[in-house]
């Protein structure tokens, strides 16, 4: 087990280095003058340009530049935003909890609905219930997420007036940011009105963001369960006289979860992609929104730093999922 | 004396046609291709023509609508139906081109990695790992940030996003096939590496690639729509479905049809390709389905 | 009264238009303490029979029977709870691939404990300690060395022979009166097969437990069973006591099975094989199922289904059962021969 952990952990180093390489190359691949791109200033006089060139280290050979960049990254210095002039890492840190909160709720939503739906579909194979679950999940991941969000807003906010249209909390509430997680902060501040408001603002974005993972989890659970239910040990368990419920939950589900956990973990990448679009529609103050604005306003330090940080998060989550898989699969845990 | 066994294509069709969903997907795809080809003939109006007197006209069946604009008009008075029809052509083009580029490059790299092994393989696969560590939309945005917005660049970006999947798939298939006896006997017979890769190994890896390509089509259309929505893909006045939704939020109360129909078009198209992809997967590997 | 009595058991898959008959009106009975071999090639329906008795045949399989009595109780009339109390308790089954029949995610102790919690004594149902003690005892009874270490093991850490012993221990947890063993040694190494078989027979004799040995390997039953039922294409074609059945088979299929054994072919250049194949779903003969392949087939065999009759505990499903010297009886010599196929035209 230990060698498994070490081997997996060792693999992320080259991947991470590769990502830093890409982030580094980004600046040099973007059309236009790198000095202008990095500083945000246009039409500088030559003297200033030469000074900035030297300041940014752009007059050095590429390998040295990369070395400096890597050193900076490892120190936590990712430059500053051209629009807000705040350090990129700090801005990321402020905005990231909002995205995490949304992503966590979306994932919880996806698992809480998707897992039972998949199990139901597998147990009631080729019945109406099965077709319904499969049909809904097929539709779910064939939909453009931003359109689905718009439809949800149209139905629930505009027509029914049940939920707010955008934002994380109603404007009248001013909750001091202790953890960065709105729900936690409202509880800490004991502001129950704010808590209610925050919850109602979470509903639609959670549904919009969680629909695709829900569809994927439902499908994967169904196919994993179907495979497991065919296995000899399920038949042997039934021959022992165990109740069907126990056979399904203790034996079938436990084994089916092994591949499903991997799938759940891989949803993180999907969630981050979806967050970009969801945050745009709901004006959710997270890193998705931040990145899009960065690209649209050519705020290259933000784009560069943002890509690096997001990739690092995805790599780390994949590592955790890998390790979790090792724990859950007894063949690896007790090699 | 029994009849000759059916040929492989006929077998494939028979397995494929067992699923009603797969047949529906195929029918829809064919319908979409027809619409795309005949777009100019079918569309009632030119897609970019602005009718200033008829901005935000509702669909024909609701109050204030007219049969002139069956699905209503957008904020600058362009006919929704015509734009949607021409958008079909665009979406299919995007899918075909992105997937083709990605598939060609992916197969080449995968063959190389799987056959050459050693350092070449390691470098290629590490590069793919890095690409996969970025969420697909983010990677596409990064590429577009470099190349600049526009439909063509969006297609390249999507091709880049799809690439690692094809490389991985091809490499895995090549490694599995390369151990088989028919390859060894070909090699003993004197076949060179290129011939081995292309003529001998590749045809046996085609099945999963075809499935992935079909599913890649739907991903391409969704990603292109997302880029268009963010203003990074097709630029106005191109009638790409995603960019049609870009400014829809502000009209969601007044003119919900501007929001509903382009999304519906995307949904139907992606659904069609997903159904087809699923059907192909079940037909090509029946063990999975049973 | 027989311990297990089956009459007219039929199991079919497929649709009503194209039924696939796996078991065809089977009659089978076994008394307490008896060891019966259920013998046949793959596809003869022997495993499906066992699953049908346990009630484990799932949709789309359909099971019908005139009588299915175990230990005095009508099995089809049992409630689901009643059936579950019986399965793993008085009526137990072990399967062909022991490593695949154990859940890879749980230890041996856990899986033994499950059976004990359901079917063990009062102490075992309540106390984990009592369960553990009994589990150790069961493992020792199936001759597993270093039982405490084995309790902690996961299935993938066991060998095939060890896993099958664990399966037997699990089956024994409920003090079964009947144990059905479906190809218990087929998946095991040759060296281990004899050991496991000996274990099964010894346990049966010690406990007065009835044992059904399902196998395609005649050698497995020859040494161990009291009685044998031979199945072909879902039907019982011969039943009778050993060694009489093997010494003087009455049904041509049994005779052919025996002749195909390597031991009976010493000195020959080729093994004697039975020509043709077992009928599938679409080509089930209307009368005697063996008729297309039987060297003694007569016209009567293609129109009239032979009854399963006989005397002194020996029954055979044949119009012309073989006598002690292996020749077909019942006026076979004067019976009308098979019709010749229509002429194919001048060549």
What is B119-188 written as a DSSP string?
HHHHHHHHHHHHHHTS-HHHHHHHHHHHH-SSHHHHHHHHHHHHHHHHHHHHHHHHHHHHTSHHHHHHHH
Task: Please name the chains neighbouring B, where neighbouring means 3+ C-beta pairs under 8 angstroms.
Answer: A
Per the CB < 8 A criterion, the answer to whether C51 and C13 are in contact is: no
3-class state of residue A21 by DSSP: helix
| Rounded Cα–Cα distance for residues A211 and A113 (Å) | 10
Q: DSSP characters for B42-94?
A: H-SS-TT---GGGTTPPPTTSTT--TTSTT-B-TT--BHHHHHHHHHHHHHHH
- Give pLDDT, residue C204: 92
Give me the pLDDT at residue A66, please: 84
Angle in degrees, 0-180, between the axes of helices B256-284 and B202-229, rounded to the nearest 10? 170
Same domain, C11 and C135: yes
Query: In chain B, pLDDT over 90 holds for what percent of residues?
Result: 23
Find out whether A164 and B259 touch, Cβ atoms under 8 Å. no
What pLDDT is stored for residue C52 in this prediction? 92
Q: Which residue has the higher pLDDT, A194 or C232?
A: C232
Examine the pLDDT at B143 and tell me if it is beyond 70.
yes
> Which of helix, strand or coil describes residue B259?
helix
> CA B234, CA B232: separation in Å to the nearest integer?
7
Chain C nearest-CA distance from A325, in A, is: 13
Q: What percent of chain B has pLDDT over 70?
A: 95
Q: Which of A220, A275, A244 is nearest to A105 (CA)?
A: A275
* Overall residue count recorded for chain C in this entry: 347
- Longest distance between any two alpha carbons in chain B, whole Å: 77
What's the confidence (pLDDT) of residue A113?
A: 95
Do C259 and C204 fall within a single domain? Answer: no
3-state SS record for A237-302: HHHCCCCHHHHHHHHHHHHHHHHHHHHHHHHHHHHHHHHHHHHHHHCCCCHHHHHHHHHHCCCHHH
Q: Looking at the 3D structure of chain B, how many domains does it have?
A: 1
* C170 Cβ contact partners less than 8 Å away, ≥ 6 residues apart: A240, C88, C111, C112, C115, C138
- HEC-encoded secondary structure of chain C: CCCEEEEEEEEEEECCCCEEEEEEEEEEEECCCCEEEEECCCCCCHHHHHHHHHCCCCCCCEEECCEEEECCEEHHHCCHHHHHHHECCCEEEECCCHHHHCCCCCCHHHHHHHHHHHHCCHHHHHCHHHHHHHHHHHHHHCCCCCHHHHHCCCHHHCCHHHHHHHHHHHHHCCCCCEEEEECCCCCCCHHHHHHHHHHHHHHHHHHCCEEEEEECCHHHHHCCCCEEEEEECCEEEEEEECCHHHHCCCCHHHHHHHHCCHHHHCCCCCCCCCCCCCCCCCCCCCCCCCHHHCCCCCHHHHHCCCCEEEECCEEEECCCCECCCCCECCCCCCCCCCCCCCCCCCC
Q: Residue A310, SS3?
A: helix
CA–CA dist B157, A273 (Å, integer): 15
- Residue C240: inside a domain, yes or no? no
Residues of C with Cβ-Cβ distance to A254 under 8 angstroms: 103, 105-106
Calculate how close chain A gets to C201, using CA atoms only, in Å: 21
Q: What is the mean pLDDT of residues A329-333?
A: 80
Residue B150's φ and ψ, nearest 5 degrees, are 140, 155
Q: Same structural domain for residues C290 and C223? A: no
Q: CA of B127: how far to CAs of A19, B122, B161, B212, in Å?
A: 9, 8, 12, 20
Helix (H/G/I), strand (E/B), else coil: A87: strand
**Residue B4 domain flag:** no
Most confident range, picked from B58-62, B115-119, B123-127: B123-127
Does B266 fall in a domain?
Answer: yes
A17, closest residue in chain B (CA to CA): B130
| Cα torsion through B25, B27, B29, B35, rounded to 10 | -150
What share of residues in chain A are helix, strand, coil (percent, to 5)? 75, 0, 20
**Nearest in space to B79 (alpha carbons), one of B258, B267, B226:** B258
Three-state SS for A334?
coil
Quick check: bond before A264 cis, omega within 30?
A: no
Locate B188 and state its tokens. 């003993």
Q: pLDDT for B204-232, tens place per residue?
A: 778 788 888 998 999 999 999 999 888 88
pLDDT of residue B286: 56
C291-302 residue pLDDT tens: 888 888 888 888
What does the mean pLDDT of chain B come to?
A: 83
Quick check: is B88 in a domain? yes
Structure confidence by residue, pLDDT tens digits, A101-137: 999 999 999 999 999 999 999 998 888 999 999 999 9
Burial of A7 (0-12, 13-18, 19+ CB in 10 A): exposed
- Find the mean pLDDT for residues A308-316: 88
As given in the structure block, the two tokens for residue A38 are 């990095």
Is there a domain that residue C239 lies in? no
pLDDT of residue C176: 93
Cα dihedral sign, A73-A76-A79-A83 = positive
Q: With contact defined as beta carbons under 8 Å apart, do C276 and C264 qualify?
A: no
- C29 with C100, same domain: the answer is yes
C242 in any annotated domain: no
Nearest CA in chain C to A328: C105
Residue C153 lies in a domain: yes
The domain that contains B110 carries what CATH number?
Answer: 1.10.3720.10
- Do the chains C and B touch each other, judged by at least 3 C-beta pairs below 8 angstroms? no
The phi and psi torsions of B2 (rounded to 5 degrees) equal: -90, 155
Q: Which residues pair with C309 in a beta bridge?
A: C316
CATH number of the domain residue C18 falls in = 3.40.50.300
- Mark whether C123 and C70 lie in a shared domain: yes
Same domain, C290 and C252: yes
Residue B47 lies in a domain: yes
Q: Is residue C53 part of a domain?
A: yes
DSSP letter at B234 equals: S
* Among C301, C234, C229, residue whose Cα is nearest residue C8: C234
Min Cα separation A139/chain C (Å): 29
> Are B263 and A148 within 8 A, CB to CB?
yes
Evaluate if residue C330 carries a pLDDT over 80. no
Q: Looking at CA atoms only, how far is residue A335 from chain C in angstroms?
A: 8
Best mutation target among A18, A82, A131, A147 (most B Cβ atoms within 10 Å) is A147
pLDDT for residue C343: 60
- Token pair 């198209």 is at which residue? B269
Between the CA of residue B110 and those of B169, B170, B216, C58, C120, what are the distances in Å?
Answer: 7, 5, 17, 44, 58
pLDDT at B255: 83
Q: Is the pLDDT of residue B28 over 90?
A: yes
State the average pLDDT for chain C: 87
Contact B227, B157 (CB under 8 A): yes
CA–CA separation, B180 and B170 (whole Å): 16
Interface of C with A in 60-89 (CB under 8 A): 83-89
Residues C106-157 pLDDT 10s: 999 999 999 999 898 888 788 888 889 999 999 999 999 998 998 999 999 9
Query: Chain B partners of A309 at a C-beta cutoff of 8 Å?
Result: none
Instruction: Give the Cα separation of A163 and A149 in Å (integer).
Output: 13
**CB contact burial C305-325 (16+ within 10 A = b; e otherwise):** bbebebeeebbbbbbbbbeee
Are C70 and C162 within one domain?
yes
pLDDT tens digit sequence for C212-270:
999 988 888 888 899 999 999 889 999 999 888 888 888 888 888 888 777 777 777 77
Tell whether C42 and C182 lie within a shared domain.
yes
Whether residue B12 lies inside any domain: the answer is: no
Same domain, yes or no, for C191 and C100? yes
* Mean local confidence (pLDDT), C316-322: 87
Q: pLDDT: is B184 or B170 the higher one?
A: B170
Asked if residue B98 belongs to a domain, the reply is yes
pLDDT of residue B266: 94
Selected for mutation to probe chain A from C15, C58, C105, C157 (highest A CB count within 10 Å) is: C105
Is B123 an 8 Å CB contact of chain A?
no
pLDDT of C342 strictly over 70: no
Is residue A195 within a helix (H) or strand (E), and if so which, with residue range?
helix A192-229
CA separation for the pair C293, C275 (Å, rounded): 6
How far is B225 from B219, CA to CA, in rounded Å? 10
Among A139-153, B59-73, B226-240, name the one with the lowest average pLDDT: B59-73
H helices within A56-127, ranges in order?
62-75, 88-123
Q: Which of C48, C94, C103, C178 to mutate to test the interface with A (most CBs of A within 10 A)?
A: C103
- As a whole number of angstroms, the distance between CA C315 and CA B255 comes to 84
Which residue is closest to A232 within chain C, CA to CA? C101
**pLDDT band, residue B3 (cuts 50/70/90):** low
The CA distance from C91 to C328, in Å, is 40
Instruction: Using the Cα atoms of residue B261, residue B263, residue B268 and residue B269 in order, give the sign of their dihedral.
Output: positive
Give residue B92's domain range.
20-288
- The alpha-carbon radius of gyration of chain C (Å, integer) is 22
Chain A residues with CB inside 8 Å of C101's CB? 232-233, 235-236
Tell whether B232 lies on the interface with A, counting CB pairs under 8 A: yes
Given a cut of 60, is residue C184 above it in pLDDT?
A: yes
Mean pLDDT of all residues in A227-251: 92
Residue C241 lies in a domain: no
Q: Which residues pair with C228 in a beta bridge?
A: C37, C240
Answer whether A277 sits within 8 Å of B137, measured CB to CB: yes
Residue A209 has pLDDT above 50, yes or no: yes
Q: Is the pLDDT of residue B289 over 60?
A: no
pLDDT tens digits along C47-74: 999 999 998 888 788 888 899 999 888 8
Name the pLDDT band for C273 (thresholds 50, 70, 90).
confident
Pick from C150, C103, C149: nearest CA to A331: C103
| HSE (side-chain half, CA atoms, 13 Å) at A23 | 29
Domain that residue C113 falls in: 4-232
Query: Which single residue is written with the structure tokens 């056979």?
Result: A247
User: How many CB atoms are located within 10 Å of the residue B29 CB?
Assistant: 18
Contact A273 B225 (CB under 8 A): no
At residue B4, the pLDDT reads 56
Total number of domains constituting chain C = 2
* Matching residue, tokens 């009264």: C1
């Amino acid at each position: 087990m230990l060698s498994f952990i070490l081997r997996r952990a060792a693999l992320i180093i080259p991947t991470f280095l590769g990502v830093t390489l890409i982030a580094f190359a980004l600046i040099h691949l973007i059309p236009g003058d790198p000095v202008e791109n990095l500083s945000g200033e246009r039409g500088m006089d030559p003297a200033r340009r030469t000074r900035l060139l030297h300041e940014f280290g752009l007059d050095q050979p590429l390998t040295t530049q990369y070395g400096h960049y890597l050193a900076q990254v490892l120190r936590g210095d990712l430059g500053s935003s051209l629009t807000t002039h705040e350090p990129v890492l700090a801005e990321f840190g402020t905005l990231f909890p909002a995205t995490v909160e949304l992503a966590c709720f979306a994932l919880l939503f996806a698992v809480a609905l998707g897992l039972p739906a998949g199990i139901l579909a597998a147990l009631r194979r080729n019945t109406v219930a099965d077709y319904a679950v499969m049909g809904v999940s097929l539709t779910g991941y064939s939909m453009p997420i931003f359109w689905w969000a718009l439809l949800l807003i149209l139905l629930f906010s505009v027509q029914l007036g049940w939920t707010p249209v955008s934002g994380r909390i109603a404007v009248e509430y001013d909750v001091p940011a202790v953890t960065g997680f709105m729900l936690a902060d409202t509880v800490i501040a004991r502001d129950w009105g704010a808590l209610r408001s925050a919850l109602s603002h979470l509903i639609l974005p959670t549904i919009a963001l969680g629909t695709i993972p829900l569809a994927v989890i439902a499908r994967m659970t169904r196919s994993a369960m179907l495979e497991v239910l065919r296995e000899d040990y399920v038949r042997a368990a039934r021959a022992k006289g165990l109740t069907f419920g126990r056979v399904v939950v203790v034996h079938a589900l436990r084994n089916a979860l092994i591949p499903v956990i991997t799938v759940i973990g891989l949803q993180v990448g999907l969630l981050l992609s979806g967050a970009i679009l969801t945050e745009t529609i709901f004006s959710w103050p997270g890193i998705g929104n931040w990145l899009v604005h960065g690209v649209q306003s050519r705020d290259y330090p933000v784009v560069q730093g943002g890509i690096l940080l997001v990739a690092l998060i995805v790599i780390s989550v994949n590592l955790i999922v890998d390790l979790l898989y090792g724990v859950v699969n007894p063949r690896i845990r007790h090699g | 004396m029994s009849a000759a066994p059916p040929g492989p294509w006929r077998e494939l069709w028979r397995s494929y046609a067992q699923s009603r969903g797969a047949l529906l997907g195929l029918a829809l795809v064919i319908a979409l291709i027809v619409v795309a080809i005949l777009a100019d003939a079918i569309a009632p109006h030119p897609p970019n023509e602005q009718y200033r007197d008829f901005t935000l006209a509702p669909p024909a069946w609701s109050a204030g609508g007219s049969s002139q604009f069956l699905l209503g008009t957008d904020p600058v008075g362009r006919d929704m139906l015509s734009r949607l029809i021409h958008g079909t052509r665009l979406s299919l083009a995007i899918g075909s081109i992105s997937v083709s580029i990605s598939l060609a490059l992916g197969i080449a790299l995968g063959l190389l990695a799987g056959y050459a092994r050693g350092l070449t393989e390691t470098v290629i696969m590490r590069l793919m790992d890095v690409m996969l560590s970025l969420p697909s939309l983010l990677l596409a945005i990064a590429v577009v940030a470099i190349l600049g917005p526009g439909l063509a660049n969006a297609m390249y970006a999507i091709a880049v996003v799809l690439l690692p999947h094809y490389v991985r798939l091809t490499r895995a298939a090549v490694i599995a096939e390369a151990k088989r006896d028919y390859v060894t006997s070909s090699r003993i017979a004197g076949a060179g590496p290129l011939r081995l890769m292309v003529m001998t190994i590749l045809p046996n890896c085609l099945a999963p690639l075809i499935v992935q390509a079909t599913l890649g089509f739907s991903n391409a259309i969704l990603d292109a729509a997302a880029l268009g929505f963010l203003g990074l893909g097709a630029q106005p006045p191109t009638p790409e479905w995603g960019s049609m939704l870009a400014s829809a939020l502000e009209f969601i109360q007044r003119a919900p049809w501007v929001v509903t129909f382009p999304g519906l078009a995307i949904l139907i198209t992606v659904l069609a390709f997903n159904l087809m992809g699923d059907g192909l997967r079940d037909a090509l590997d029946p063990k999975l389905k049973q | 009264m027989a311990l297990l009595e089956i009459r007219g058991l039929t199991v079919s898959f497929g649709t009503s238009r194209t039924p696939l008959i796996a078991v065809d009106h089977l009659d089978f009975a076994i008394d307490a303490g008896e060891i019966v071999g259920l013998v046949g090639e793959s596809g003869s329906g022997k495993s499906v029979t066992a699953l049908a008795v346990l009630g484990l045949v799932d949709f789309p399989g359909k099971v019908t029977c005139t009588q299915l009595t175990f230990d005095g109780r009508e099995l089809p009339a049992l409630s689901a709870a009643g059936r579950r109390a019986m399965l793993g308790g008085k009526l137990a089954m072990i399967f062909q691939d022991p490593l695949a029949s154990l859940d890879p995610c749980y230890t041996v102790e856990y899986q033994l404990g499950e059976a004990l919690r359901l079917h063990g004594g009062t102490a075992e149902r309540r106390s984990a300690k009592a369960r553990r003690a009994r589990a150790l005892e069961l493992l020792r009874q199936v001759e597993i060395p270093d039982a405490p270490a084995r309790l902690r093991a996961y299935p993938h850490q066991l060998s095939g022979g060890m896993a099958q012993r664990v399966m037997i221990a699990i089956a024994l947890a409920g003090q079964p009166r009947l144990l059905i063993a479906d190809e218990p040694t087929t998946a095991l190494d040759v060296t281990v097969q004899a050991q496991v078989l000996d274990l099964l027979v010894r346990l049966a004799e010690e406990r007065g437990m009835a044992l059904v040995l399902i196998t395609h390997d005649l050698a497995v039953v020859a040494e161990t069973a009291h009685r044998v039922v031979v199945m072909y294409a879902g039907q019982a074609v011969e039943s009778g006591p050993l060694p009489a059945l093997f010494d003087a088979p009455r049904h041509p299929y049994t005779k052919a099975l025996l002749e195909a054994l390597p031991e009976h072919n010493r000195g020959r250049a080729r093994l004697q094989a039975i020509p043709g194949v077992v009928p599938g779903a679409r080509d089930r003969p209307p009368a005697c199922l063996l008729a297309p392949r039987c060297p003694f087939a007569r016209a009567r065999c293609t129109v009239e289904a032979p009854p399963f009759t006989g005397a002194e505990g020996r029954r055979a499903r044949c119009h012309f059962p073989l006598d002690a010297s292996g020749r077909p009886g019942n006026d076979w010599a004067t019976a009308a021969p098979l019709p010749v196929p229509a002429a194919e035209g001048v060549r």
